Structure 1
Amino acid sequence: MTRLSLRALALAAVLALVLAAVASAATVRTSATPAQLRAGKVAYDKAITAGFAKATKQLDAQLKKHPKKPTVVLDIDETTMSNWTCLDAVDFDLIGIANCVVGGTSVAYPAAKAFIKHARARKVAIAFVTGAPQLVCAGRRQNLVAQGITAPFTLACRPADDHADTLVPYKSKARKALQKAGATIVLNVGDQQSDLAGGAARATVKLPNPVYTSA
């Protein structure tokens, strides 16, 4: 077997694992059709920008309370980075998420980058907590850096032995671990309610996601 064939098999195996992770988090498509999603793309982009404008106001309000070691926690997919191009290419089948994650081709939202830049200027630490499996954690980090979101930041990925049908226990535990290490999570931003549930943050901002929902 050639080296190219081995690489293709390895990528296929990783893709299958990412798809399994999506399924285990009970990620499902919304009722919006591909035509409806495409027609609403401009409004969706504006809603993401508005969401980060709200996050900026929330962050500034929290910083007026002078918290120790202030930290912002962000989800990655459809929060910090978009998988729209990969999803659009397959008529918004959820395999599009896996294609972007495995290929490292997710694209950072300009509003997310501006928010992170603002937070860092205010001496706020950045932490990412993603539902992507541990196997692709290095790739998620590389994708973030390639999109201009450079270190320092912390990144938590879903453990290989976590097969729960909801991300809430894992994500809330990851935030509590940051708190235990001394961080004050002043704001938690995500596109799913499961990104925000479970507490361990002083404030939350929910971004829209017209494509899919995750438990």
Structure 2
Amino acid sequence: MSRRLTAVPAALLLAALLLLTATAALAATTRTATTPDQLRAGHAAYEKAVATGWTKATKLLDAQLAKHPKKPTVVLDIDETTMSNWGCLDAVDFDVTIGLATCVVQSKSVAFPGAKTFIKHARAKRVAIAFITGAPQATCALRQKNLIAQGIRKPFTLTCRPATYTTDSIVPYKSAARKALVKKGATIVLNVGDQQSDLSGGAARKTYKLPNPIYTIN
């Protein structure tokens, strides 16, 4: 029996397919050319790079706060930014479709330690936390449940992709969500994500991109 069928029971596969239907209009998620064996061999280095990235993001945040912005806010992506789906992806040989669906449906994503430290630091500085994710609205409650279970408790805001969004790139949705925060009076001092599409479109004073050797999103 294949590793994939062993790792993912039929009921979960069905749930994943339902999730796929909900995300059909989402921008293309593409696996990188890095093989599963290469990803596993480089896992420790990847984790270290993410930790280093969050340290750098903290320094960027502090530099912006020194300018005394009004209603400072940080915008964070969730998957492979705040939380890792490594376990779910590894279990299915990095099949992105099934791996991501598994983590979302079963709330199995695991918070990066660096992300939790960053959020704690930001809150101590009275910075608002806003999550903007490409996950569909139908899964928003699951994403919130997972965040809270991983120790990232409220207050925070969470924006998920509307069911009516059919554009083949995530950029217009995410940039519009950031602009909506600004319109409400927030100053987005820093926007952190693992994809360039998380950061494109403006509305943030600074951006920081974390590494993601597994997949890319348009």
How far, CA to CA, are the matches of 2:24 and 2:64 in structure 1?
33
Identity of aligned residues (%): 70
SS, match of residue 34 in structure 2:
coil
Aligned partner of 2:92 among 82, 90, 93: 90
SS, match of residue 117 in structure 2:
helix
Which ranges in structure 2 are unaligned for 5 or more consecutive residues?
1-9
Aligned length in residues: 207
Match of 1:202 in 2: 205
How far, CA to CA, are the matches of 1:65 and 1:13 in structure 2?
50
Match of 1:81 in 2: 83
Aligned partner of 2:190 among 153, 178, 187: 187
Give the root-mean-square deviation of aligned CA atoms: 1.5
How far, CA to CA, are the matches of 1:54 and 1:19 in structure 2?
34
Q: Is the 8 A contact 1:18 1:132 kept in 2?
A: no
Deviation digits for residues 125-162 of structure 1 (CA, Å, limit 9, x no counterpart):
00000000000000100000000000000000000011
Aligned partner of 2:60 among 48, 54, 58: 58
Cα shift at 1:103: 0.6
Deviation digits for residues 72-121 of structure 1 (CA, Å, limit 9, x no counterpart):
00000000000000000000001101100111010000000000000000
Q: Which runs of 4+ in 1 moved over 4 A?
A: 11-14
Provide closer, same or farther for how the CA distance between residues 171 and 13 of structure 1 changes in structure 2, counting only shifts above 3 A: farther
Provide closer, same or farther for how the CA distance between residues 14 and 161 of structure 1 changes in structure 2, counting only shifts above 3 A: farther
Which ranges in structure 1 are unaligned for 5 or more consecutive residues?
1-7
Aligned partner of 1:118 among 121, 137, 145: 121
Deviation digits for residues 1-52 of structure 1 (CA, Å, limit 9, x no counterpart):
xxxxxxx87x766522432427731100000000000000000000000110
How far, CA to CA, are the matches of 2:55 and 2:35 in structure 1?
28
Letter in 2 for 1:29: R
Matched, 1:15 2:16: yes
Provide closer, same or farther for how the CA distance between residues 32 and 23 of structure 1 changes in structure 2, counting only shifts above 3 A: farther
- Please give the TM-score of this superposition, normalised by the length of structure 1: 0.93
Letter in 1 for 2:88: C
How far, CA to CA, are the matches of 1:22 and 1:102 in structure 2?
16
How far, CA to CA, are the matches of 1:161 and 1:187 in structure 2?
28
SS, match of residue 24 in structure 1:
coil
Provide closer, same or farther for how the CA distance between residues 70 and 84 of structure 1 changes in structure 2, counting only shifts above 3 A: same
- Please give the TM-score of this superposition, normalised by the length of structure 2: 0.92
